[in-house]
A = this chain, B = another copy of it.
Amino acid sequence: MPPTIGVFDSGFGGLTVLRSLIERLPRARFAFLGDTARLPYGSKSRRTIARYAAQSARFLVHEQGADFLVIACNTASALALDAIKEAVPVPVLGVIEPGAAAARAASRTGDVLVIATEATVHSQAYTAACSAHGLRALEKACPLLVPLVEEGWIDHPVTEEVIDIYLNELRSQAAGAGMNPDTLVLGCTHYPLLRPFIERSVRPGVNVIDSAEATAQAAVALLNGRANEGGSAAFTKTEIHCFATDSVDKFERLGSRFLGRPVGPVQLIDLGG
């Protein structure tokens, strides 16, 4: 039996991680849960996020039979990874460590910029993970980017302007700190949809790291043996089951933009609260 891979996000931004996983594991079963009733996690406290994330993880493991969990949400990875690991008896992979490892592989100067939500930045999880890899990181919260993506202004001039404002501020801060950054980590699963504008805004030669891709690669490495077995066994194609705690319509409507294919029917579930 190939493993069932549980993928969790506060919303549907984590579908960018699911998309990268599917590209690398086309013959597997995926259960994706978006805790849309309680999003955004990005502006909430560690305690609240840990409680919500643990409930969601238990649903994927106990109700959906996930035997591997990918936390496709930077905020939950930053603030609740330990709480999730305590809540469920299966391996759990977050997006922060793979993002930091990919930055380490890409950077030559050792100075890295990170853009993310308010709560992720406040947690300094990327700074800690980068530091463990010998990198110096400077983080900046960009709270307008998620709403701009969800408004559908992915190629709108206002979005380009907002990205330029945020990245200019970040570059000024880096220069003020005597840093010479050559790598920018997209520390939010919504940001890959803005990659064209972000790449246009960074200086030539700066690496843009998508933590969704980095995480999918790390998951495949961990799952490798079991996934190969499974690929030749039960599943001959990708099986995707999507769940949300609210706003199924919005999930179905916007989700395909993140997943790169129709998300199919999304099942509404109640985690209480």
Q: Interface residues, chain A, CB within 8 Å of chain B?
A: 36-40, 43-45, 48, 143-144, 146-148, 150-151, 153, 158, 161-162, 165, 246-247, 250, 272-273
Number of identical monomers bound together in the oligomeric complex:
2
Answer whether A43 and B247 are a contact pair too, CB < 8 Å, given A147-B144, A150-B143.
yes
Collect the chain B residues with CB atoms within 8 Å of residue A151's CB: 143-144
A166: min CB distance to chain B, Å: 10
Chain A contact residues: over half helix, strand or loop, or mixed?
loop
In addition to A38-B38, A45-B247, 4 A-B residue pairs with Cβ atoms within 8 Å of each other are A37-B38, A40-B40, A143-B147, A144-B148
Collect the chain B residues with CB atoms within 8 Å of residue A158's CB: 158, 161-162, 165
A38: min CB distance to chain B, Å: 6
A25: min CB distance to chain B, Å: 31
Bound state CA distance, A135 and B250, in angstroms? 30
A18: min CB distance to chain B, Å: 21
A163: min CB distance to chain B, Å: 11
Contact pick for A48, options B43, B147, B246, CB 8 Å: B246
A50: min CB distance to chain B, Å: 12
* A-B CB proximity, top 7 nearest: A273-B273, A147-B147, A48-B246, A37-B48, A44-B246, A45-B246, A143-B151
Which B residue sits closest to A55, measured CB to CB? B273
Bound state CA distance, A49 and B150, in angstroms? 20
Collect the chain B residues with CB atoms within 8 Å of residue A144's CB: 144, 147-148, 151, 153
A112: min CB distance to chain B, Å: 24
Q: Can you show 20 pairs from A to B with CB atoms below 8 A apart?
A: A37-B38, A37-B44, A38-B38, A40-B40, A43-B150, A43-B247, A43-B250, A45-B246, A45-B247, A48-B246, A143-B150, A144-B144, A144-B147, A144-B151, A144-B153, A147-B147, A158-B161, A158-B165, A272-B273, A273-B273
